[in-house]
Structure 1
Amino acid sequence: MRVVAIIPARYASTRFPGKPLADIAGKSMIQRVYERIAKAGCVDEIWVATDDPRILQHVESWHGKAVMTSSHHQTGTERCAEALGQLRLTPDIVLNVQGDEPFIRREHLQTLIACFEDQEVMIASLMKPVQDMQELHNPHLPKVVTDQQMNAMYFSRQPVPFVRDQPQDQWLATHRFYKHIGMYAFRPHILHELVKLAATPLEKAEKLEQLRWLEHGYRIRMGVTDIDQFSIDTPEDLQRCLQLLDQLEDRES
């Protein structure tokens, strides 16, 4: 299977303007994401899809591949679809890797790609077992429930399912909960279909784009990982990022 990774990277951000260019121990965030994907060895081609010439020029300065896309996109999915069309790429699988996740692991990518060994899979994403009550009740960490074929049934910012007849402090002992890790992979024609879909009530209620796909009848195959992921959403996250970077480099050395 030929796999292309697209990293959507916009400059404007309410909480962290210029985030893709933020310095992390001598390299920009976007360069670290790009290099982590390349190091994984399971992707044939990598592109950064951006809306800002500063990001484009920065990526090209270290010989990365980048393409300019519209500044009007509402989601990274839309940006990926435009880039795929512009570049006229024809892979078997398209990975949408967020540009603010500099600790992406080979195992994440391999698990996503492996989902497509089933020819019926059109969209894939990742989930990880919830470790503690803080994660379970954190609305910034969406939870997911699946059917017996590992297809997502629902995503929510609330803990799902509700464990009846058990006190909440016993929920993790009586049921395995999963949090969603927001990486996606698509068959190319499905990606182009998804960006044409109208917004849906559940998506608007939860502010979770993937619910739009479920409401329109698409299936999302969930791969399971035990390896966590850390996104950088604010300047304050950078300090924690540096600590994680040291730990990661020690573990992989």
Structure 2
Amino acid sequence: MSVLIVIPARHASTRYPGKPLVDLKGASGQARSLIRRSWDAAMAVGGADRVVVATDDERIRDHARSFGAEVVMTSTACRNGTERCAEAVGNLAVSPDIVVNLQGDAPLTPSWFVEDLVAGLRADPQADVATPVLRCSGRMRADLIADRMAGRVGGTTAVFGHDNQALYFSKEVIPFAAGSFDDDADSPVFHHVGVYAYRPSALAQYPGWDEGRLERLEGLEQLRFLERGRRILCVEVEARGRQFWELNNPEDVARIEEMMRTMGID
């Protein structure tokens, strides 16, 4: 089954305009743009047949091409990354069997997250979409709660049933659990990793659906699938000692750079 990785990127982000072109310094102090680091993460994934950047912005297009990325131009009408992925796939001559949306704000995404995700979707023919979830340590849970208390939109959390079918995603920290947890102890909270693998048929239908009420309230594109009764498979992944965080706010730059220094990522 052929696998296409699409990296959707837009310049006009509401919370952080120009985010894809922001530089992140690695362990040695070498700076690379967020979109370059996301491209590097995608290229490290085993089993991917093709990687493209999907954007509506000429600045991102020109920068991506400067480091050798393949770019597919999309319209400014795309409301989120999933719609941009759908349009990009529709512009290609050959449709893949699985489309991976590796969002351009997650440069610390390990290759095995995506590899496990694709394997999970292949193994569950009933699932329309698959997405990774990472069990939070007590420290990560506390960081998520601190972001919310400070009024920042931080990471997204997920809850799912015994069959790993997603029940809900939220920018609040769910499920509620009284008390605290030791920094290195497991908590009951799962951090949703912003990567998706789609069946092309489900992805093609998505832009034609009206934005859902919950999607609009939470600002989470994947809720449109749940509101339409589509099955999202949550694939639990292991950190293997890697730290993970997404770049959602300007304050996240320093946090991600510190993680890169700690892990020796250049």
Interval of TM-score (by shorter of Structure 1 and Structure 2)? 0.7 to 0.9
Cα distance, 1:243–1:136 mapped onto 2, change above 3 Å? closer
Q: CA deviation at 1:141?
A: 2.8
Residue matched to 2:215: 203
Q: CA deviation at 1:4?
A: 0.4
Q: TM-score, length-normalised on structure 2?
A: 0.83
Q: Report the AA paired with residue 54 of structure 1.
A: R
Correspondence 1:70 to 2:65: no
Q: Report the AA paired with residue 231 of structure 2.
A: R
Q: CA deviation at 1:136?
A: 6.0
2:128–2:231 CA contact under 8 A, matched in 1:
yes
Measured on the aligned residues, the alpha-carbon RMSD in Å equals 2.4
Report percent identity of matched pairs. Answer: 36
Identify which of 160, 163, 181 aligns with 1:146: 160
Correspondence 1:90 to 2:95: yes
Q: CA deviation at 1:35?
A: 1.4
Q: How do residues 1-253 of structure 1 correspond to structure 2 at under 5 angstroms?
A: 1-24=1-24, 25-116=30-121, 117-132=123-138, 133-135=141-143, 137=145, 139=148, 140-162=154-176, 168-169=178-179, 176-227=188-239, 228-249=243-264
Q: TM-score, length-normalised on structure 1?
A: 0.87
More off after superposition, 141-150 vs 190-199 = 141-150
Q: CA deviation at 1:159?
A: 4.1
2:11–2:60 CA contact under 8 A, matched in 1:
yes
Matches of 2:5 and 2:262 in 1, distance apart? 26
More off after superposition, 116-125 vs 139-148 = 139-148
Cα distance, 1:62–1:179 mapped onto 2, change above 3 Å? closer
Helix, strand or coil for the counterpart of 1:177? strand
In structure 2, stretches of 5+ residues that fail to align are 25-29, 149-153
Q: Report the AA paired with residue 120 of structure 1.
A: Q
Matches of 1:162 and 1:101 in 2, distance apart? 26
Q: Report the AA paired with residue 179 of structure 2.
A: D
Q: CA deviation at 1:57?
A: 1.4
Cα distance, 1:175–1:15 mapped onto 2, change above 3 Å? closer
Q: Report the AA paired with residue 254 of structure 2.
A: Q
Q: Report the AA paired with residue 124 of structure 1.
A: A
Q: Report the AA paired with residue 212 of structure 2.
A: T
Matches of 2:42 and 2:69 in 1, distance apart? 12
Helix, strand or coil for the counterpart of 1:233? coil
Matches of 1:81 and 1:155 in 2, distance apart? 21
Matches of 2:111 and 2:36 in 1, distance apart? 16
Matches of 1:242 and 1:72 in 2, distance apart? 32
Q: Deviations over 1:123-143 (max 9, x none)?
A: 000111122252564543332
Q: Report the AA paired with residue 134 of structure 1.
A: A
Matches of 1:126 and 1:57 in 2, distance apart? 31
Matches of 1:135 and 1:147 in 2, distance apart? 25
